[in-house]
Structure 1
């Protein structure tokens, strides 16, 4: 079982002080958070890709390359890489390069993107996003597995006798997760290729993501990659932790209420009841996270959003200390002990040992 964090890189004014963070400060804070994640024993750090304010991570491979030089063990990933607006040739090259630089401790999560104005900025039409995602991944999948590629499609110029360089490390492509918050077509695509499916269920009720994950598992088995319970599943989440739950709720509430993604909407209590958001004591976060296995089955990767909505860097680093020292060791032991022997652990390049308890 792999545990880690993901960041969406929002630049949000701290609602308790009214003090904004600069883009420079936010980018540097993301690096500090990634290094802290390794220090406290987490397995994965992932960064999103956004090209519009109030978000700054427009170049996740640049960020991950820099973090790779500052770390030695943690797996580096994206959450997500936009398969629709990025050229699949460039994705193939960038992540193969990261593989070599990190000795295999890199993978990626593909997503379509859901911000309409971004598509024309890159010469694309959001109305074709699903077709773009399907065709671009077909090409990306081949670029990592075929030394010489012949390709013709709808959305890019043909490739004739093309070789993507560098080749994947040891001939093993980076592991791919397909991230989705709404689309059954994405679950089908992940199942067809035998890739991972990541349900970032931090926004909508759990039942919605249970349906998507169940579909992915059924289709994974249908396509002959293994039994449904062997499918590779990752889950999102969000947590804020203090020794006493009352203190956690009181401290986190103003940040929740003003969050750029879900603020000014349903109450904190509503989110706590319907989504994986955990705000409380370490034991409460442990107990809620353990329910994810009951809801989704055995899974391989758990990522939390910890640095959203203007939380000060000092607070985020404190949160990571608690996560690494008091929460993840218990979850790792309990979930690994419950996982049947035929269900795989979290994906890793052959040069990287799989995470175990």
Structure 2
């Protein structure tokens, strides 16, 4: 089980001070946060992609490459890469480059995005979002899997004898998650290719995500990648904790009440009771997070949002320290308890490379002199 944090990259006024950080300050802060996440023992750091104020991460691979140069172990991922508006050729090149620079510590979460205004900025139509998702990913997959690609589709110019460079590190492409908040077609794509499915798991009640994840698991098994239990699932979540529950509530309330995303809507109490948000003590966070397995089954990756809504850097780092000291060890132990042996671990480059090398060692024996037996993996 992998644990980590993700950022949506918002630039929001701190309602307790009236100060709004600059883009420069937020970009510097997210580097500090990512490095601290590795220092306290987390497995994954992820950043979103946005091209409009009040967000800063328009170039997530640049951010992640900068972080890669200052870290050693943590997996670096996006929490959303826009498969709809980005050119699949550029995605293939950028993430293969990041993969080499990070020595394999590169994942990608593909999504449609949730802001329709972005489409015309990149010459696309938001009404084509699902078609773009299907076509662009089919091309991206081929660009990584095939040395030379001949391709023609609906939404971009054809490719003739094209080779994407650099090639994936050691022939193993970055692991792909398909992220969705509400789109069953995305779960279907993830299942078809045998990729991971990442459920945002922030704003909606658990029943909504149960439907999406169950659909993905059923279709994953349908396409022959394994049992439903072996499907690769990641979840989002968010928290604000202090040693005493009421201290957490009192400190976080002004940030919640004024946040652009959910401020001026449901009360903090209603939101925490209806969604995965935890605001309380470390023990309350442990208890709530452990219910995720009850709802969604055993899964591979849990990411939390903690640097949003105007929270100052000092507070975010304190949250990481408290989480690592008083929550993470228990979550690791409890999620490992009674975990079936056939449920895969979270994807890593080393494990996937070893599996690819093992498969390659078997395939050449498909037809040897004096034998008519075909060996299959």
- The equivalent of 2:309 in structure 1 is 309
Contact 1:202 1:276 in 2 (8 A): yes
Distance 1:211 1:35 in 2: 35
- The equivalent of 1:214 in structure 2 is 214
The answer to whether 1:229 aligns with 2:244 is no
The answer to whether 1:263 aligns with 2:263 is yes
- The equivalent of 2:328 in structure 1 is 328
Shift of 1:263: 1.4
Shift of 1:117: 1.2
The answer to whether 1:82 aligns with 2:96 is no
Larger radius of gyration: 2
The 5 A counterparts of 1:168-179 are 168-179=168-179
Contact 1:104 1:351 in 2 (8 A): no
Contact 2:27 2:56 in 1 (8 A): yes
- The equivalent of 2:185 in structure 1 is 185
The answer to whether 1:284 aligns with 2:284 is yes
Shift of 1:153: 0.1
Contact 1:44 1:74 in 2 (8 A): yes
Distance 2:345 2:226 in 1: 14
- The equivalent of 2:159 in structure 1 is 159
Distance 1:352 1:75 in 2: 14
Distance 1:70 1:244 in 2: 34
- The equivalent of 1:60 in structure 2 is 60
Compute the RMSD of aligned alpha carbons: 1.1
- The equivalent of 2:338 in structure 1 is 338
Runs of 4+ more than 4 Å apart: 351-354
Shift of 1:338: 2.5
Contact 2:201 2:276 in 1 (8 A): yes
Shift of 1:260: 1.6
Residues 231-285 of structure 1: CA distance to partner in whole angstroms, max 9, x if unpaired? 0000000000100000000100110111121111111111111111011111110
Shift of 1:352: 8.2
Shift of 1:353: 9.9
Answer with 339-348 or 324-333: which moved more: 324-333
The answer to whether 1:136 aligns with 2:136 is yes
Query: CA 1:42–1:149 in structure 2 vs 1: closer, same or farther (change >3 Å)?
Result: same
Query: CA 1:33–1:112 in structure 2 vs 1: closer, same or farther (change >3 Å)?
Result: same
Under a length normalisation based on structure 1, what TM-score does the superposition of the two structures give?
A: 0.98
The 5 A counterparts of 1:35-114 are 35-114=35-114
Describe the SS at the equivalent of 1:70: coil
Shift of 1:156: 0.3
Contact 2:4 2:304 in 1 (8 A): yes
Distance 1:251 1:30 in 2: 22
Distance 1:351 1:163 in 2: 26
The answer to whether 1:8 aligns with 2:14 is no
| 5+ long unaligned stretches in structure 2 | 355-377
- The equivalent of 1:27 in structure 2 is 27
Shift of 1:351: 6.5
Distance 2:108 2:6 in 1: 12
- The equivalent of 2:349 in structure 1 is 349
Shift of 1:45: 0.3
Distance 2:258 2:301 in 1: 28
- The equivalent of 1:121 in structure 2 is 121
Residues 196-229 of structure 1: CA distance to partner in whole angstroms, max 9, x if unpaired? 0000010111100110000000000000000001
Under a length normalisation based on structure 2, what TM-score does the superposition of the two structures give?
A: 0.93
Residues 294-350 of structure 1: CA distance to partner in whole angstroms, max 9, x if unpaired? 000000000000001000100000000011111111101110122111000000112
Distance 2:15 2:216 in 1: 39
Shift of 1:165: 0.5
Distance 1:353 1:289 in 2: 31
- The equivalent of 1:238 in structure 2 is 238
